[in-house]
Amino acid sequence: MFFCDDKNTLIELAINEIQNHGFHHAKINDKLLGGHTEHVLCLYYKDDSRKHELAERNKQEYGVKYRYWKSDSDTLKGKYSKEFLDKLSEDARKYFTTQKKLIEFKDRKGKLILRQKNKEKQD
């Protein structure tokens, strides 16, 4: 996860990592929440085996805030840092910490059409 006030810096970082370093997927938040001033880039690879390489490249090339690795699975489970959650309103905190499930729609050939996160229903 990378953090930066300048969203375009994160977009350029993501493009470089995907095109030149073999990362698979990236996502960046569009809207800033609560008291946050930084955008967040999540960069995905099959596992966390390259987190130290990425940290070193960030030091050498990008110079943005880097908080190592968090899996998409942890995001879906609502696992966030205390620092992040403490800046949110009670309602926003509840939303982020609610477990979500990933719904995927594929065509007949197995090609992904749509991927969407949905909140799990509470009993």
Q: In this model, does residue 94 exceed pLDDT 90?
A: no
pLDDT (tens digit per residue) in 57-93: 999 999 999 987 766 677 767 777 777 778 778 887 7
Decide: pTM greater than 0.75: no
For residues 100 and 25, what is the distance between their CA atoms, to the nearest angstrom? 19
**What is the DSSP code string of 37-105?**
--EEEEEE-SSSTTHHHHHHHIIIII-SEE-----HHHHHTT---HHHHHTS-HHHHHHHHS-EEEEEE
User: Could you tell me the pLDDT band of residue 123, with boundaries at 50, 70 and 90?
Assistant: very low
Pairing, β 100-106 against β 39-44? unpaired
More confident residue, 38 or 111: 38
**Domain definitions of the chain by residue range:** 1-70, 71-123
State percent of the chain over pLDDT 70. 80
Q: Is 7 helix (H, G, I), strand (E, B) or coil?
A: helix
pLDDT in tens, 18-66: 999 999 889 898 888 777 788 989 888 888 899 899 999 999 999 999 9
